[in-house]
């Protein structure tokens, strides 16, 4: 087999160009799934910290029936809070 270095590089480059779109699509699909969730998490955390102060941390959150429910913690004390618009948060109960 008599293959020249230049021919090998051309073939390798052509093969990598063919593979890149498939890799790019696979990465885009992964990021497209994870990005909205991360953006929503960040938005909810910022909203809660703006309402209650920086000492609060978000433990969990979920959305149902147009309301956002979250469990937050402040120095070991946990609270259940809810909001309809992510601006006004109300403490529903201590946990």
Render pLDDT for 33-55 as a digit per residue (tens, 0 to 9): 444 556 668 888 888 888 888 78
Model pTM above 0.85: no
Phi then psi for residue 66, to 5 deg, are 80, 0
Kindly report which listed range (11-15, 59-63, 72-76, 86-90) carries the lowest average pLDDT score. 11-15
Cβ atoms of 55 and 74 closer than 8 Å: yes
Q: In whole numbers, what is the pLDDT of the chain averaged over residues?
A: 74
pLDDT beyond 90 at 80 = yes
* Pairwise CA distance, residues 45 & 51, whole Å: 10
Phi then psi for residue 61, to 5 deg, are -155, 155
Position 50 scores a pLDDT of: 87
pLDDT beyond 80 at 3 = no
């Amino acid at each position: 087999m008599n293959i020249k270095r230049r021919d090998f590089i051309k073939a390798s480059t052509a093969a990598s160009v063919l593979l890149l779109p498939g890799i790019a699509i696979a990465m885009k699909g992964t990021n497209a799934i994870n990005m909205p969730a991360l953006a929503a998490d960040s938005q909810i955390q910022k909203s809660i910290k703006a309402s209650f102060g920086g000492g609060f941390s978000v433990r969990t959150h979920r959305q149902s029936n147009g309301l956002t429910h979250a469990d937050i913690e402040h120095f070991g004390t946990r609270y259940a809070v809810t909001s309809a618009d992510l601006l006004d948060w109300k403490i529903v109960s201590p946990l």
